Chain A
C-alpha cells in the first residue's frame, strides 16, 4: 500500500519535473541564446562561424525534418503558447500562412534600409507580401532551368529548345526515336514545379487588393501552361507519371528520361539519383514563351524568419541578416550547404566553379545567375497548402485522363477549391 502510494507520488513528481523542464529558460546574465529551427543540411556549420564571431549572441540549430513538418510544429508550439524557437527556416510559399497565423515578427524596424538591395525584387516581394512589413530575410532561391542529356541530344541531332514550341518539337523527336524515351514527364505530385512553370508564363496566383485577397489561378497564363502540357500528354510525347518515384529514377539512369525541367539545385538530385550519368547532362535556360522577354519561375527556396515568440527580436534579426548577406556566410552556405544563396551579388562571387556533376559545363553558374535574374514576380496566398493539395488531386485525374481539356478543368477546380477555402475561413475575397 504505502509503496504504491509512494510510487504514484514519485511518478507524479517525475512527470511534473519533466513538464517544467521544457520551459526552463536561460538566465538574464550571460550571452543571448537563440534557437534556430532549420532543415537545410550543414546549416549548423555556417552557424558555428557566427557563434565564434559573436560571443554575446549564441545561436543553437535544432535540426528539423523538412519544410512541411517544421511549419506544423511551429504552429502547434504557438498554439501551446511556448516551445517555439527564435528563428525558423521558412519556404517562401509558407510565409503568408505563417503571417496569417501571427507566427512571424515584422522585423522591418530591425533591418538596415539597404538589406533589400541585396536580393532580386521577385524574392524580396515574397518576404514583404507587398507591404511595408518585412517577415523574413531571403535565404536561397530555386530559379528554374532546363536540364538535358547532351549525349542523347547529340546522337539525335537535336539542340536545346529555346522556346516552348521548340520544346514540343524536340519532345516529339525524342519520343519518335524510341517509344520508351521521353523529354520529360508531367508530374501531378509536384505542385511547386507547376507553380514555377505558371510563374514563368506570368501567373501570380494570389494578389492583395486593399483589404481583400484576389485569386487568379484560372487566368490566361496558367490556362496556357495547362493547355500546353495537356496537349503534350494527350499527344503522348510527354510522360504522365510522377517525378521522384523509383521508376523515374530508373529513367534518369537508363536514359529514358532525356530531360528535366528543374531548378538550380538539380545537380544534387541528379548526382544522388543517377550518379552514373555524371558529365552527360547540360544545363540551359528555360524554354521561353516570349524569346524577347526571358523569364523563369522558382521551384523551392526558403528564407530565415523571426518568430513572434522570441524575446530577442533585434538579436534574431541581426543573425538572420548576417546569415543571408554577409559575404563569408553566403560563401559558406553555397559551399558547405550546397544551396544557391538568394543574395545575388554575394552568390555570384561565391559560386565560380561548376558543381562536380556538371564538370563538363564551365558556365553552369553563369546560366544559373542569368536565370536567377529573370525570376518573375509571384505572390503566394494564405492557403497555399490547400491549393497545392488541390493540384495533386486534380492534376492526377487530368494526367490519368490524358486530355488537354482535363488539364484546363483541373485549373478551374484549383481556382474553385482555393476560393471556397478562403471564403469558408472568413477571408475577404474580391
Chain B
C-alpha cells in the first residue's frame, strides 16, 4: 500500500535506487498538514494499518472463525428427549462431553474413510500422471495446435462437479448410454460400472475428467517459467527430448507437482458432489459412502447436528494432519534447494 503511494523520488526498492538521506521512513502522503500534534500522528500511524485490515479480519471472523467455533461448540452438545418426546419442553440440548466424538468413530465412518482412500489411491496418481504427461507434451517443441489442445484439456474443469456427475451418470446407465449401445451392437459384454465392484472407478473417472485439465495448467505454467537457455545447454550436451523431459523438466516442476498433489489429496478426502449425485441412480452407493456424505446425512437427514459437527471436526483435523505429514515428507525433496 504505502510503497505505491510514496512520492516517487523517495524510494524504489525494486530498482535499488538509494534513498535520499534526508528522507525518513515516515510516509508523507497522510500528513496533509506538515505540523500536527504528536499524539494525533501517532494514532494515525498506529491505527491506519488496523483500519486497512479490519474488513478482511471482520469477514474472516464472521465467515470462517465464527462457524468453526460454533461447529466445535455443537460437537459437544446433543439433544436429550424424555419419555414420548411429544409436546413442548420434551426436547432439550445438553452437554455431551466427548460422546459425539466416540460415536462418530464408528465402523460406518471408518468404512467411508477406507472407500475414499481407495478412491484417492486410484484418482490422484492417475490424475497427476496424466496432467504431467499432457503438460510435457504441450511443452515439447514438436507439438502442434498447443493452444487448442490446452483449452480442450482444460475445458472439463469448467464443468461443475454436479453437472459432470449427471452427464457421466447418463453414460453409466446401460439403458440410456451410447457406450453400452455401441458395445451391445458389437456383441460385447460391457461391465456394469454402477455396480458395487466398479463404482469407485466410475467416480474416479469423473474426478479424473474434471481434474486433469486444472493440474495440467498449473504444471504447464511452471514449465513455461523455466528459462530456455537450460534446454539449449542440454541440447548442446546431446540430450534427447525425452531426456530433457525426464531429467530437467520433471525435477523443475516437482514443487508444482507437490502442490497439486496436496490440493488433490484434500479434495479427495472431501469428495461429496459426485457420489451424492450418482447415488439415486444405483444401489452401489450408500448415504455414507464418503465421510462428508455421512456428515450431511447426520445433519440433514437424521437432524443430529452434534454428531455431524463432531465428524466434521475429525475430518478437518485428519485433513490438516495428512497435509502436514505429506508436506513434511516431500518438502525436503521439492524445496530443498530453496532453503
Give me the interface of A with B, judged by CB distance under 8 Å.
1, 4-5, 8, 72, 75, 96-97, 99-102, 129, 131, 188-189, 208, 211-213, 240-242, 244-247, 250-251, 256, 308, 382-383, 385-386, 388-389, 392-393, 396-397, 399-400, 421, 424-428
Contacts of B85 in A (CB 8 A): 100, 382, 425-427
- Tell me if B317 counts as interface (CB < 8 A to partner A): no
B287 and A211 form a contact (CB under 8 A): no
Contacts of A240 in B (CB 8 A): 283
Tell me whether A400 and B287 are in contact in the complex, defined as CB-CB below 8 angstroms, given that A425-B79, A425-B80 are known contacts. Answer: no
Instruction: For the A-B complex with A389-B297, A400-B284, A427-B83 known, give 16 more contacts whose Cβ atoms are closer than 8 Å.
Output: A1-B48, A4-B51, A97-B303, A100-B81, A102-B88, A129-B86, A188-B283, A212-B83, A246-B173, A246-B281, A247-B176, A382-B86, A393-B286, A426-B82, A426-B85, A427-B85
Contacts of A213 in B (CB 8 A): 84
A242 and B282 form a contact (CB under 8 A): yes
Tell me whether A247 and B287 are in contact in the complex, defined as CB-CB below 8 angstroms, given that A129-B86, A308-B88, A426-B81 are known contacts. Answer: no
B280 and A393 form a contact (CB under 8 A): no
Identify A427's interface contact among B84, B174, B282, B286, CB under 8 A.
B84
Nearest chain B residue, comparing its CB with the CB of A97: B303
Nearest chain A residue, comparing its CB with the CB of B169: A246
How many Å lie between the Cα of A427 and that of B80 in the bound state? 8
Most buried by A among B82, B86, B169: B86
- Tell me if B300 counts as interface (CB < 8 A to partner A): yes
Which 7 A-B pairs have CB atoms at the shortest separation, nearest pair first? A396-B283, A247-B175, A426-B81, A247-B173, A102-B88, A400-B283, A100-B85
Nearest chain B residue, comparing its CB with the CB of A4: B51
Tell me whether A72 and B302 are in contact in the complex, defined as CB-CB below 8 angstroms, given that A99-B86, A392-B287, A427-B81 are known contacts. Answer: no
B84 and A211 form a contact (CB under 8 A): yes
Contacts of A383 in B (CB 8 A): 302
How many Å lie between the Cα of A344 and that of B98 in the bound state? 52
Contacts of B287 in A (CB 8 A): 389, 392-393
Pair count A-B, CB < 8 A: 112
Distance between B190 CB and nearest chain A CB, rounded to angstroms: 15
Interface string of B155-198 (1 = CB under 8 A from A): 00000000000000110011110000000000000000001100
A72 and B300 form a contact (CB under 8 A): yes
B174 and A247 form a contact (CB under 8 A): yes
- Tell me if B91 counts as interface (CB < 8 A to partner A): yes
Contacts of A247 in B (CB 8 A): 173-176, 281
A-B CB contact pairs (8 Å), 27 listed: A1-B44, A4-B51, A5-B51, A99-B86, A100-B90, A100-B91, A102-B87, A102-B89, A189-B280, A212-B84, A241-B282, A246-B169, A246-B175, A246-B281, A247-B176, A308-B88, A382-B85, A386-B301, A388-B301, A389-B287, A389-B301, A392-B287, A400-B283, A425-B79, A425-B85, A426-B85, A427-B84
B91 and A101 form a contact (CB under 8 A): yes
Which residues of B40-71 have CB atoms within 8 Å of chain A's CB atoms?
44, 48, 51-52, 54-55
Distance between B200 CB and nearest chain A CB, rounded to angstroms: 14
Nearest chain A residue, comparing its CB with the CB of B88: A102
B283 and A245 form a contact (CB under 8 A): no
- Tell me if B288 counts as interface (CB < 8 A to partner A): yes
A246 and B79 form a contact (CB under 8 A): no
Identify B196's interface contact among A4, A99, A382, A400, CB under 8 A.
A400
Identify B91's interface contact among A4, A102, A424, CB under 8 A.
A102
Contacts of A308 in B (CB 8 A): 88
A393 and B288 form a contact (CB under 8 A): yes
How many Å lie between the Cα of A60 and that of B75 in the bound state? 38
Mostly, the B contact residues are loop
Nearest chain A residue, comparing its CB with the CB of B286: A393
How many Å lie between the Cα of A324 and that of B168 in the bound state? 44
Interface size (B, Cβ < 8 Å)?
43
Interface string of B8-48 (1 = CB under 8 A from A): 00000000000000000000001000000000000010001
Interface string of B271-314 (1 = CB under 8 A from A): 00000000011111111100000000100111100000000000
B174 and A99 form a contact (CB under 8 A): no
Distance between A419 CB and nearest chain B CB, rounded to angstroms: 14
A397 and B84 form a contact (CB under 8 A): no
Contacts of A385 in B (CB 8 A): 301-303
Distance between A310 CB and nearest chain B CB, rounded to angstroms: 14
Tell me whether A246 and B170 are in contact in the complex, defined as CB-CB below 8 angstroms, given that A100-B90, A393-B288, A396-B284 are known contacts. Answer: yes
Contacts of B81 in A (CB 8 A): 100, 382, 425-427
Contacts of B281 in A (CB 8 A): 242, 245-247
Contacts of B174 in A (CB 8 A): 247
B91 and A242 form a contact (CB under 8 A): no
Distance between A46 CB and nearest chain B CB, rounded to angstroms: 30
How many Å lie between the Cα of A1 and that of B302 in the bound state? 50
How many Å lie between the Cα of A213 and that of B84 in the bound state? 6
Nearest chain A residue, comparing its CB with the CB of B300: A72
Most buried by A among B175, B285, B300: B175
Contacts of A251 in B (CB 8 A): 175
How many Å lie between the Cα of A188 and that of B282 in the bound state? 9
Nearest chain B residue, comparing its CB with the CB of A394: B286
Nearest chain B residue, comparing its CB with the CB of A390: B287
How many Å lie between the Cα of A246 and that of B175 in the bound state? 8
Contacts of A250 in B (CB 8 A): 175-176
Tell me whether A421 and B90 are in contact in the complex, defined as CB-CB below 8 angstroms, given that A251-B175, A396-B284 are known contacts. Answer: no
B280 and A389 form a contact (CB under 8 A): no
How many Å lie between the Cα of A388 and that of B300 in the bound state? 13
Identify A396's interface contact among B30, B170, B175, B286, CB under 8 A.
B286
Distance between A42 CB and nearest chain B CB, rounded to angstroms: 26
How many Å lie between the Cα of A386 and that of B79 in the bound state? 15
B280 and A244 form a contact (CB under 8 A): yes
Distance between B134 CB and nearest chain A CB, rounded to angstroms: 32
Identify A1's interface contact among B51, B176, B300, CB under 8 A.
B51
Contacts of A241 in B (CB 8 A): 282-283
Contacts of A424 in B (CB 8 A): 103
A389 and B83 form a contact (CB under 8 A): no
Identify A245's interface contact among B48, B87, B89, B280, CB under 8 A.
B280
Distance between A385 CB and nearest chain B CB, rounded to angstroms: 5
B176 and A246 form a contact (CB under 8 A): yes
Contacts of A392 in B (CB 8 A): 286-287
